[in-house]
Structure 1
Amino acid sequence: MKSDISLWKNLLDTWDIRGLIISSLLLQALLVPSGPLRKRTASGFVLFPLWLAYLLADAVAPFAVGLIFKAQQHKQDDLSVHPSDPSYDNGDLFPLWSAFLLLHLGGPDTITAFALEDNQLWLRHLLQLLLQSVTTVYIVILTLPANKLRLPTFLVFLAGLIKYSERTRSLYLASTNRFREGLLFEPHFSPVFTRPMHHYNPCVSQTNIELIGKPTRRILDQDDKDDLSYIEVIKYAHYFFRTFNVLIADIILGFMERVESQYFFLHRTAKDAFKLVEVELNFFYEILYTKAGVIQGLTGYSLRFVSFGSVVVALLLFALEEKKELHPTDIRISYALFTEGISLDIISFFMLILSDWTAVALTKSKDPSRVTRFLGNLLFVKRQRWVEDTSKPYSFLLNLVLPFRRRWSECISQFNLIHCSLHPRSEKMEKFIHFFGLTNILDGLKYVNTERFETGLRDFIFEELRLKSETVHDINIVNQISSARGDWVLQVEGCDALLPHVLDVNYVDSLLLWHIATEICYSTDHEEGGHDDNKKNDYCEFAKLLSDYMLYLLFMQPNMIPSVAGIWQIKFRNTCAEAKKFFRRMELRKWREEKKPFLGNKEKKRLDVEHIEACKHILAIKEEDEWSVEIGKNKSVLFQGSILAKELIKLETEERKDKWKIMSKVWVELLSYAAYHGNGSSHVARLSKGGELITLMWLLTAHLSLRE
Structure 2
Amino acid sequence: MHTYLMAKRLKDFWDNWGIEVLVTVSCGMHMVLTLFGSSRRRMTARQGLVRFIIWSAYLLSSYVVTVIIGKLTLIQVNESTKENTDSELKGFLAPLLLVQLGSRDAITAYSIEDDRLGLRQFPNVVAQLSAVLWILFRSWNNSLVSYLYFPLLLAGSIKYGENAWALYTALSGSSGITTDEFEQEEAIQNVFKHDKDIPNNRNLEMILKGYYRFFCLKPHIETWIYRPLYQKLNELSIDNIDSPLEIFQITDFELGFMYDVLYTKAPIVYTRTGFVLRLITSLSLVSCSIAFAIWFKDAFVYYINAGFTIVVLGVILTLEIYQIYMLLFSDWAILTMIRHSKNPIVRRLLIFLAPQATRWKRWSNTLGQFNLIRYCLDYDNLCCSRILKLASLDIQITKYFCTTSVGIPDELKKMLIHEMGKPEEPRQPISKRGEWALGRYGITELYKSVDGTEFDKSILVWHLATEICYHSHIQFEHSNSKIKMGRYLSNYMMYLLALRSQMLSITTSEIVLEDGRKQIMEFLKGKSSVKNVERVCRELKELNVEGKNYKAEPQTMVTRDWYLLTDAKQVSENLLGRVGDTWDVIFSVWVEMLCFAATHCRADNHAEQLRRGGEIVTHVWLMLLHQTDAGGSGSNDQP
For this structure pair, what is the TM-score category when the shorter chain's length is used for normalisation? 0.7 to 0.9
Q: 1:364 to 1:255 in 2, by over 3 A?
A: closer
1:244 correspondence with 2:192: no
Structure 1 unaligned segments of length 5 or more: list them.
193-213, 222-226, 388-404, 593-609
Out of 694-703 and 613-622, give the one that drifted further: 613-622
Q: 1:254 to 1:174 in 2, by over 3 A?
A: closer
Aligned equivalent of 1:574, options 485, 493, 515? 515
Structure 2 CA distance for aligned equivalents of residues 286 and 182 of structure 1: 10
CA contact (8 A) 2:598 2:617 kept: yes
CA contact (8 A) 2:546 2:566 kept: no
Shift of 1:676: 1.8
Q: Which residue of 2 aligns with 1:235?
A: 208
Shift of 1:418: 1.0
- The code of the aligned residue for 1:302 comes to V
Structure 1 CA distance for aligned equivalents of residues 67 and 87 of structure 2: 18
Aligned equivalent of 1:687, options 585, 610, 613? 610
User: TM-score of the superposition, structure 2-length normalised?
Assistant: 0.88
1:703 correspondence with 2:591: no
Q: 1:428 to 1:94 in 2, by over 3 A?
A: closer
Q: 1:441 to 1:324 in 2, by over 3 A?
A: farther
Structure 2 CA distance for aligned equivalents of residues 289 and 120 of structure 1: 12
Structure 2 CA distance for aligned equivalents of residues 383 and 257 of structure 1: 24
User: TM-score of the superposition, structure 1-length normalised?
Assistant: 0.79
Structure 1 CA distance for aligned equivalents of residues 260 and 208 of structure 2: 16
Shift of 1:420: 1.0
Shift of 1:283: 0.5
Shift of 1:32: 1.0
Out of 150-159 and 418-427, give the one that drifted further: 418-427
- The code of the aligned residue for 1:360 comes to L
Q: Which residue of 2 aligns with 1:119?
A: 115
Shift of 1:191: 7.0
Counting aligned pairs with the same residue, the percent is 24
User: 1:595-618 deviations in whole A, cap 9, x for unaligned?
Assistant: xxxxxxxxxxxxxxx322222222
Q: Which residue of 2 aligns with 1:606?
A: none
Aligned equivalent of 2:256, options 282, 290, 293? 282
Q: 1:617 to 1:324 in 2, by over 3 A?
A: same
2:549 is paired with a residue whose SS is helix
Structure 2 CA distance for aligned equivalents of residues 487 and 22 of structure 1: 60
Q: Superposition pairs for residues 522-533 of structure 1, below 5 Å? A: 522-526=470-474, 530-531=475-476
- The code of the aligned residue for 2:516 comes to T
Shift of 1:230: 2.0
Q: Which residue of 1 aligns with 2:285?
A: 311
1:560 correspondence with 2:535: no
- The code of the aligned residue for 1:168 comes to A
CA contact (8 A) 2:88 2:141 kept: no
Q: Which residue of 1 aligns with 2:145?
A: 149
Structure 2 CA distance for aligned equivalents of residues 297 and 187 of structure 1: 12
Structure 2 CA distance for aligned equivalents of residues 171 and 683 of structure 1: 18
Q: Superposition pairs for residues 163-312 of structure 1, below 5 Å? A: 163-175=159-171, 178-179=172-173, 217=189, 229-246=202-219, 248-249=221-222, 251=224, 253=226, 264-312=238-286
Q: 1:136 to 1:441 in 2, by over 3 A?
A: farther
CA contact (8 A) 2:210 2:254 kept: yes
User: 1:195-214 deviations in whole A, cap 9, x for unaligned?
Assistant: xxxxxxxxxxxxxxxxxxx9
Q: 1:435 to 1:285 in 2, by over 3 A?
A: farther
1:675 correspondence with 2:616: no
CA contact (8 A) 1:266 1:704 kept: no
2:325 is paired with a residue whose SS is helix
Q: Which residue of 2 aligns with 1:659?
A: 582
Q: Which residue of 2 aligns with 1:135?
A: 131
- The code of the aligned residue for 2:513 comes to F
Q: 1:151 to 1:190 in 2, by over 3 A?
A: closer
- The code of the aligned residue for 1:487 comes to E
CA contact (8 A) 1:258 1:702 kept: no
Aligned length: 612
Aligned equivalent of 1:32, options 29, 34, 53? 34
1:488 correspondence with 2:411: no
CA contact (8 A) 1:413 1:450 kept: yes
Structure 1 CA distance for aligned equivalents of residues 466 and 110 of structure 2: 37
Q: Which residue of 1 aligns with 2:104?
A: 108
1:286 is paired with a residue whose SS is helix
Q: 1:19 to 1:255 in 2, by over 3 A?
A: closer
Q: Which residue of 2 aligns with 1:394?
A: none
Aligned equivalent of 2:538, options 595, 616, 639? 616
Structure 2 CA distance for aligned equivalents of residues 704 and 540 of structure 1: 28
Structure 1 CA distance for aligned equivalents of residues 471 and 151 of structure 2: 68
Structure 2 unaligned segments of length 5 or more: list them.
194-199, 635-639
Q: 1:507 to 1:259 in 2, by over 3 A?
A: farther
1:425 is paired with a residue whose SS is helix
- The code of the aligned residue for 1:572 comes to L
Q: 1:218 to 1:35 in 2, by over 3 A?
A: same
Shift of 1:459: 0.7
Shift of 1:541: 0.5
User: 1:588-640 deviations in whole A, cap 9, x for unaligned?
Assistant: 32245xxxxxxxxxxxxxxxxx3222222223343543336889955242220
Structure 2 CA distance for aligned equivalents of residues 436 and 329 of structure 1: 48
Aligned equivalent of 1:349, options 303, 320, 324? 324
Root-mean-square deviation (CA, aligned residues, Å) is 3.2
Structure 2 CA distance for aligned equivalents of residues 375 and 187 of structure 1: 21
Q: 1:437 to 1:288 in 2, by over 3 A?
A: farther
1:689 is paired with a residue whose SS is coil
Structure 1 CA distance for aligned equivalents of residues 241 and 310 of structure 2: 57
Shift of 1:447: 1.3
- The code of the aligned residue for 1:588 comes to K
Q: 1:629 to 1:576 in 2, by over 3 A?
A: closer
CA contact (8 A) 1:265 1:703 kept: no
